[in-house]
Structure formats: C-alpha cells, structure tokens
Amino acid sequence: MKVTAIYVYPIKALRPIRLDAAKLTSQGVQWDRRFMIWRVDDDDPSKLTKIQIDKQHDCGLFKQEIVGDKVEVTYLTPAKPVVPFHPQQQVILEVPLSPDISALETVELDLHLSSVKAYKMGSHYDDWFSACFGVKAALIYIGDGRRPVLGTYAPRVDDPQEQRGRLSTLSSRVTGTLGPTKVKPWITFTDLAPFLVATEKSLANVRTRLAASDNNVEMTAFRPNIVIDGDKDFDEDFWTELSAHGAPLLRLTKMCNRCPSLNVDYNTGRLAEGERGTVLKKLMSDRRVDEGAKFQPVFGKYAFLHEQQEGMVLSVGDDIHVSQRAEERPVFDWPLRSRGAQPQYYQP
C-alpha cells in the first residue's frame, strides 16, 4: 500500500491543507490543530462554545495555507452568502504559527471532557472571524497546553498485548522491541488522538452508496491526516500497527465514529443537497460496528506515532504496510458527560 495524501489543519474545523510531505510528531502532523475557534456567548463573554463544522457548516468556507511562519486564512464567499457582507471578509488574515504567549490572556477550555489552559489570540483575530461567521468568535491558541488522552485511546506500549487484544501477526511483520513511553501521551486540539488514518478503498465504498450525480464526496469530508490507498474496504478497522521505511510508524487504537459533518458542502457552507447530503445516513445501514458507540457509523482509525519515529518525514508515495492487526474491532470508551464523567486535566 502507499500513502496517497497528507493533510494538516493548523486551525481546527477549517479547510485542510494538502501536503506532499510532512514532519510527524507525537502530537500529529507538524502544526496540526494548534488553534481553534470558539463562539462567545453574547450575554456571558466568559462562556465559550466550540465551533466545529458539524454544526457551524460555514467552517468549510475558510481556506488556510501555511506561508513561511504564518497561516494565511481566506474567507471564500459562496454564490449564496451565508452571512451579511462585511469588509473584513475580503481581508486575508495572517496568524503566526508560534505566537508569543507571554502577554496573552489565558482561558480554561473543555473539549470532549479533556481540558486545557489555552491562550486567547486577541481582538485583531477575533474581529476577523466574528465578521466572517456573523457571530462573536474567539481564536484560541493551545500554546504549551496539553490535553489528556482519555479512555484507552493511547497505546499501552509497556504492555502491547493488553492494549491491542488478540493479535494475529502478519508474515510481513516488522519486529522490534517496544520500550516504555517516556512522556505520558497528550494531544492538542485534535479530537481524541493525534492522527486519523483513512483509506481510498473505503472512500470508494462510500461513493457507491450514492447516486451517480451525487457521488462526488471527497476524502476531505472525513478530515483525515494520512490517507492510504488500501487493499480492502474498511480493513483498517482491524489494523493496530502500520509500518513505513522498514520500521513501525503508527499504532492504531480506536475507530472514528462519525457525525453530520460528512454531509456538509464546503463550497456553499451549508448541508449538501441531494444524496450528497445523506452520507451519514448511508453509512448507518452497515457501519455501526463499534459496540461502544452503536448509534454512530465508523470511518477511519485513530493513531499515535511510534515513539522512535518522532520527527520523521512521511511523503505521499511512501510504502505502508500493516505490521500488526487484531481479530476484533476495538471499542469506544472515551468518557462521556452523559454518562456522568467529569472534565480532566493532563497529569504528567
């Protein structure tokens, strides 16, 4: 198999940036999801609500590009405007990739019960996003903040057999000794893990479920970091380790349970029309395969970088093979507020 695409999302929820090659870190593709936009409550400015594309569909109208040491963000006004015109919408916003946090106001954030102290970028950035979204918004930088990985999403490298369950080793397995993790795993503003892996083979399966006139769903709708061509539809459900360059690369731990973001048309900033707007429903028929989240279909697999690969460069076209797999699918166990779980902070 080969890598067919690599994506990075410096500002979470906006359009991805496609890369030919990327430096990989324990927290994902370099620069991935270091920033996030939050909605500010009109009556209580201290109350922040995350802005994500499943509910704020016009996130798809924001193009981002890394230029030097900045992210340039452009608002793409659709043919049918989503919000009233504002002059700021015609301005390209420049966001430093590594801003100085010494003078920034801090804020406590709770994202999927994985909490962190982060930094408000300030009115210059907030005003621009507010003008484009049509609501009060704040750009937040995670800086030196660390969000804990909850449940059993992080790999147990000290006891790989326990973490992965019953493993069947392929004849092409790359052997190696797994040592203990020196630093407890943590994440930035990624949802539940540093990487999301998806395959072209599974995307092709999704497209067959739609009418010919509406089967133009792109991989970007699934918001992965690393895309592989794949050998068999949804075989990634059972992958537990991928190798590249002759060594283990990624440990895959849990499946990705999907939400209505799959139905968004990035060109209009609205839910897509026709069958293209029913992708989530189409997957409901046979892809509710996670026993821990029975009402959400699965597409893609969450992953963590092998500790010996910190800083390695992965390129489109690189060979990838499955070096370990499981006989059974993993089970969602991220704590949920609806089940009485409480927010947690990173503890080294």
Residue pointed to by tokens 């792109």: 218
- pLDDT tier for residue 157 given thresholds of 50, 70 and 90: low
Q: How far, in Å, CA of 223 to CA of 27, rounded? A: 16
pLDDT tens digits, residue range 249-303? 999 999 999 999 999 999 999 999 999 999 999 999 999 999 999 999 999 999 9
Q: What are phi and psi of 196, to 5 degrees?
A: -130, 125
Q: Name the token pair of 42.
A: 């009109």
Mean pLDDT, range 198-214, rounded to an integer: 93
Q: Give me the residues paired with residue 315 across strands.
A: 21
Residues 282, 224 contacting (CB under 8 angstroms): no
pLDDT tens digits, residue range 312-348? 999 999 999 999 999 999 999 999 999 999 999 999 8
Q: How far, in Å, CA of 88 to CA of 137, rounded? A: 14
- pLDDT tier for residue 154 given thresholds of 50, 70 and 90: very high
Nearest 10 degrees: CA dihedral of 169, 170, 175, 181? -50
Mean pLDDT, range 208-213, rounded to an integer: 89
In total, the chain counts a number of residues equal to 348
pLDDT tens digits, residue range 167-196? 443 433 333 333 444 689 999 999 999 999
pLDDT tens digits, residue range 95-133? 999 999 999 999 999 999 999 999 999 999 999 999 999
- pLDDT tier for residue 159 given thresholds of 50, 70 and 90: very low
